[in-house]
Structure 1
Amino acid sequence: MVAGGIVCETRSSCESFTKHSVPPLPTRPPPAPGVRRIHSIIDLWLGEQLRRRRQALGLPLQQVARACGISVSLLSQLERGLRSISMRTLGALAQELRLPIETLVRNTRYSEGEAEGAVARAGTHRRIDLGDKGIHKENLTPPAASGGVQMYRAVIDPGGSTGDDLFLTHKGEQVGYVIEGQLDLFVQERLLKLKAGDSFCYGGDMSRRWRNPGQTSTTILWAITCSPG
């Protein structure tokens, strides 16, 4: 078992170590100065790509927002990863910025007649490659799901990471399972070293970052609750 990044031989020794040696992680902390609050790491990456492309073309926010039929405020939030982007808006922005949408997201249609979207077959999951971060994510959630829980499969290249800065997302809980490889998970700058077979959880509004410190790819299965507010 693992307690605070330490592997324990038995449940009793792990509980004893945790009780006497490791202070519990604080819950629902206030955002620390300099910590970025974003909607998700995917939204942050997409926003970065759109902002870099817009700036490279020398286009002001107002011009791009007007051409895409959205407000300047919304475009600013999208570029900073504060809002999720719809496929319709992403398509409009990609066209305006002359950016092939295939470089941002691979989106395939679900098979018709699959119990009205209750089943998502292999090869039909929406995939986003965060290329410069070495992260590849698939949304495994069937389209008929209520939206209360989202499930993702993430493959992290050797050395891949969310970056050096801590970030926050929405309220809710995130639970993960390391299928293969290694993961360094920083929760409020506390390092948890994880390996294949380990599981973990944290609040969505707890500051964090993560990376693959190994020489092989790391695969994570993530379940994320989507609490309002």
Structure 2
Amino acid sequence: MRDVDIGARLKAFREAQDLSQRQLAHVAGVTGSMISMIEQNRTSPSVATLKKILSGLKISLGAFFEETPPDGMKWHFTRAELGEINPEIKRGAPPEAAKAISFLQVGGAGTSALQMLYEHYPPGADTGPELYSHEAEEAGIVIDGQIEITVGSETRLLNTGDAYLFNSRLAHRFRNPGNTPCIIVSACTPPTF
């Protein structure tokens, strides 16, 4: 897995849209100093914070980390096609050590109307204290373990074999309250995560 310079990439996307750090901070609902610190690689954003910032750029997390696929590449069949999109893990921290959630994406974010993820939540891992939202619908099946999902003001505990489907425009978060890892296979359409 190659290292990604999150700060440089964020700056490039921001400048491509001709936005100042202050303008991006305003539309994303974060501070200008947060944008500056991320761009200088002086802080590492959580998944929820990075999604919030990227929503101001109208870019999905998957598209932000997407490597340019070879021309004409459309179909994805092998495990080698799964790409990590969590910034904490892309920096090389093993999921168990950082309690980081692994989001392995099938194919590239910009190549399909559907985004499919293989998600790994270590015990105690969560998507952060803030609920987040994005312009899509998402669904998933708990393959192993348990996950607590909050959507709006409602919270449910799902176990192996349980499934979910909700409008991602509603603020939500995921948390593994168990003592074992949780594995989820999920899909999002359009691919805005």
Q: Per the shorter chain, which TM-score range?
A: 0.5 to 0.7
Aligned to 1:127: 84
Q: Equivalent residue for 2:144?
A: 180
**How many angstroms apart in 1 are the aligned matches of 2:187 and 2:129?**
24
Q: How far apart are 1:163 and its partner, in Å?
A: 1.1
User: Would the aligned equivalents of 2:115 and 2:187 in 1 still touch at CA under 8 Å?
Assistant: yes
Report how far residue 208 of structure 1 moved: 1.0
What is the deviation of 1:197? 0.6
How far apart in 1 are the matches of 2:122 and 2:68?
A: 23
1:101-112 maps to which residues of 2 (within 5 A)?
none
CA gap of 1:124–1:175, structure 2 versus 1, over 3 A, is: same
- For residues 118 and 207 of structure 1, do their structure 2 counterparts lie closer, same or farther at Cα, with a shift above 3 Å needed? same
Give the aligned CA root-mean-square deviation in angstroms. Answer: 4.0
Give per-residue Cα distances to partners, 1:85-131, cap 9 Å, x unaligned: 6999x6xxxxxxxxxxxxxx595967x9xx94323321222212343
Q: The residue matched to 2:157 in structure 1 has which SS?
A: strand
TM-score by length of 2: 0.61
Size of the aligned set, in residue pairs, is 150
* TM-score normalised by L of structure 1: 0.52
* Aligned residue type for 1:151: M
Q: Residue 79 of structure 2 aligns to a residue in which SS?
A: coil
Q: Does 1:136 align with 2:106?
A: no
- Distance (Å, rounded) in 1 between the aligned partners of 2:19 and 2:173: 29
**How many Å apart are 1:201 and its aligned residue?**
0.7
Distance of aligned partners of 1:86 and 1:214 in 2 relative to their CA distance in 1, 3 Å threshold: closer
Structure 1 residue ranges without an equivalent (≥5):
1-45, 54-60, 91-104
3-state SS, counterpart of residue 123 of structure 1: helix
Counterparts of 1:224 and 1:174 in 2: how far apart (Å)?
Answer: 4
Q: Would you say 1:206 and 2:163 are equivalent positions?
A: no
Q: Distance in 1 between matches of 2:174 and 2:74?
A: 32
Instruction: In structure 2, give the amino acid aligned to 1:154.
Output: E
Structure 2 residues without counterparts, runs of 5 or longer: 29-34, 36-52, 89-97
Contact 2:138 2:166 in 1 (8 A): yes
